[in-house]
Amino acid sequence: MRIIPRLKCLALAGALVGLWVGIATAAEPPIRVGVLAYRGGDHANAAWEPTVRYLAERFPERGAEMVPLDLPGMEAAVQARTVDFVLTNTGNYVELEARHGVTRIATLRSSRAGASGAAIGSALIVRADRTDIREVGDLKGRTVMAIDPDAFGGFQVAWGEMLKAGVDPYRDVKELRFSGFPVDRVVFAVRDGTVDVGVLRACVLEELAAEGRVDSSQFRVLAPRTSPGFDCALSTDLYPDWPLARLASTPEELAKAVVVALFQMPADHPAARGGGYDGWTVPLDYQPVHALFRSLRIGPYRYLREVSLVDIARAHWEWLVVAALALLWWAIHSLRVEHLIKVRTAELRSANRDLVREMAERRRAEETARERQKEMDHVARLSILGEMASNLAHELNQPLGAIANYARGCTRRLEMGTGEPAQLAEITRAIAEQAERAGQIIARIRNFVRKRASQLEPMDVNEAVRAAMSLCESRARGDGVAIVLTLADDLPPVLADTVQIEQVVLNLVVNALDALEGAQTGAPEVTVRTGRDEAGRVEVAVADRGRGLTDEARSRLFDPFFTTKPGGMGLGLSICRTIVEAHGGHLWATDNPGGGAVMRFVLPAAGKAQPVGNEEQHHAR
């Protein structure tokens, strides 16, 4: 708005009429004052047009012009130097001062200010019926509306108060909205329930109520506080009122003249009444505003958000010293640990060489032990066959005698000429059968006694039992002892060496036959049973009703070279236990309830390896 008074018109007319000047004088441009229109252009015109008119009257040769601006427009006008002075809020002035070098020349003396002259604060408002929001700390999880991020009383002052209460509006509230100017939108949004909390510059609520635009009884101010001489509802501290500032390009003489004119304005002047203030005073101290901006890291202190290493060092030097000492300790500790590692590594290398040497010697010892074990197994098998030699000879004499008889009979028939081809063929077939029988006996004996490497393969325990019985049944017949086989049909195969399992069974049966010699029994017999135990393992039991076990025999039964038989070697049961345990099984002895002893051993089924653990102490025979 441009105001051109009558005096200026008359001056211009006089200049045209008074040719005595000699030349036409060009008028200077008007004084342009940029005013922050925080409630819109109409409100700004109503509040500040009288003040600008006052300046126009004091400078009739130039006049004065008001330029209503919002915050972005204020920034642009100052940067483009399209205004001479700015009348803006406290926070915007501090930012313009830092960015563009504007200088305050006077401060508004508000009619509501207290003795300190401070008159700018914030009011956090809610609806009067909201009983769930009482304090600033209750803003967490709420919807908050303010005017603009750069609005001093309309957001920044309240922002500082929220941080004091432990609420970060950019992080802790449910939603932070900015309505833009005019500020009336914030009040209406709270009234209509669109938002939970509104941020206003102090006294705006009272101004709207005085204008009849809102009913102040519908609202309540959070955490209300009072300040001496300040009669508006308030939720924060107060800060200095609006300043009038000149741009760096504004002539100093003009700035002095404007300041003098404002200081001379009476308190009851229409311009003061229109703006709601009592006049102007010297620039107040705006250091509290700088402190607020520094805490918020905004305006000229925005750079604090980019903290440098030097800043960190200055702020936390004690912790850095502790960290440096810890790092030094860690370095010394690392050097010591590295030295110890080198020493331990050298010791481990030496120990490893010794261990490798020891393992090699142990492997050689184990190989030697295995070879000796094989020799002992072989000797044991030969010993068993030695004890059964006469019976085996009788077993072989039967087919050999049958062959001789068949051959003589065939010879006589041929000499007498009475042999018919069919009869001779029958005799030769009988000879062949007996020869095969003798060959099978010799093959079994040869396979049993020959030296061979252990071969683990799935096998049927019942077949091993039958094969062992074929080697000792002749002895049993000679001794008049019956061998009773009770073999289960559903046994799973076991992973074992067939000859070694046959050796174990044969040795147990031969021991049972030996135990029956001289025993007073009605019908001597040896029972061989196969089945499965509770763990699913295959079990073989050889029972006799002989003399039984003495206490000494029970305690030393598996000791090498211990025997109860005259002329015995004492290796049979020791070797049997070694063979069974090598196959993952166990061998033990128990008393037979009817007299005698029962020798049992178990083997794991193929595919179900059984760990060799500490079983219940068993006694083997």
Query: End-to-end alpha-carbon separation of the chain, Å?
Result: 127
412 and 480 inside one domain: no
86 and 159 inside one domain: no
Residue type, 258: V
- The residue segments making up the domain with residue 200 are 122-237
465 and 445 inside one domain: no
Residue 527 lies in a domain: yes
What single-letter DSSP state applies at residue 156? I
162-197: buried (b, 16+ CB within 10 Å) or exposed (e) per residue?
Answer: beeeebebeebbeebebbebbbbbbbebbbeeebbb
380 and 460 inside one domain: no
Indicate whether 563 pLDDT > 60: yes
479 and 544 inside one domain: yes
Average of per-residue pLDDT across 152-168: 92
Q: What is the pLDDT of residues 24-42, one digit of tens each?
A: 334 689 999 999 987 788 8
Domain count, the chain: 5
Structure tokens at 179: 């309505």
CATH of the domain at 219: 3.40.190.10
Q: What is the pLDDT of residues 177-205, one digit of tens each?
A: 999 878 889 999 999 999 999 999 888 99
pTM: 0.45
333 and 223 inside one domain: no
- Looking at residue 48, its pLDDT comes to 92
Domain boundary residue, one of 364, 387, 410 = 387
pLDDT-derived band at 385 (thresholds 50, 70, 90) equals low
Structure tokens at 224: 């209300």
CATH of the domain at 585: 3.30.565.10
C-alpha to C-alpha distance for 475 and 314, rounded to whole angstroms: 105
Q: What is the pLDDT of residues 422-448, one digit of tens each?
A: 777 887 887 887 687 677 667 666 666
Residue 523 lies in a domain: yes
- Highest mean pLDDT among 7-16, 355-364, 410-419, 548-557 belongs to 355-364
31 and 176 inside one domain: no
